[in-house]
Amino acid sequence: MRLLLPIVSILIALVLLVPGVTQPVLSLEGKIDKSKLAQTGIEMIADEGDRNTRNMLMMASSMFGLDKLEGEISAYQKTRSIWGTVNELAHNKNYLVAVLVAFFSIVIPTIKLLMQLVFCLLPASKFKQNLGVTICALSKWSMVDVFVIALIVTYLAGNAEGETGGLIKMHAELGNGFWYFTGYCLFAIAASSFIKTDAKNI
């Protein structure tokens, strides 16, 4: 029973990590008001110095009822997972950031969980003691994966703001990947707390 809780926690964390990395973490959608779009179009065509053109376009817009258009149109949509963000960063030649995100949110968590699983299954020995020390060293990086998620959410939101120029009303929604990854974090923390107790008894 003493080993059952950490092993089950580790296995659940490993299972949750896969969809946590591959499923969408955040979805961003931007909508623009149709009448505002018509107004912006006029402002783009005729600058402030060209009043005649601007007045003519305003009259045409009013004649055709463009200033009274109702409803919104979708102008921006992006959904990204952690793995999708890594690919996008690499595609944009941000190789170092892509490697760091992949390393801290995929590689380190997987290695740590597998090491913890081996630790639980090994009998007491010098090797198990050394493995416990290594796991403790990796545990110092345990909040980095959570920090990576925060960075990805910020990155996508910032990207959206930059591309829309304030014209579009943004709506953000957390995806399934966020909740899977949160579940992974909770079970990984639980497993670590159980294994720390066991490590004292080696």
| Tokens read off for 82 | 């952690």
Per-residue model confidence (pLDDT) at position 15: 95
Dist. CA 159–CA 89, nearest whole Å: 12
Per-residue model confidence (pLDDT) at position 8: 92
Dist. CA 102–CA 96, nearest whole Å: 10
Per-residue model confidence (pLDDT) at position 16: 94
Structure-derived torsion over alpha carbons of residues 64, 66, 68, 72, reported in degrees to the nearest 10: 140
Domain spans in the chain, listed from the N-terminal domain onward? 4-31+76-199
- Checking if the pLDDT of 28 tops 70, the result is yes
Give the confidence band of 164 by pLDDT, cuts at 50, 70, 90. very low
Is pTM beyond 0.85? Reply is no
- Average pLDDT rounded to a whole number, residues 167-178: 77
pLDDT 10s digits, 83-137: 988 898 899 898 998 898 888 888 888 998 999 999 988 888 888 888 888 888 8
- Checking if the pLDDT of 197 tops 50, the result is no
pLDDT 10s digits, 76-85: 677 888 898 8
DSSP 66: G
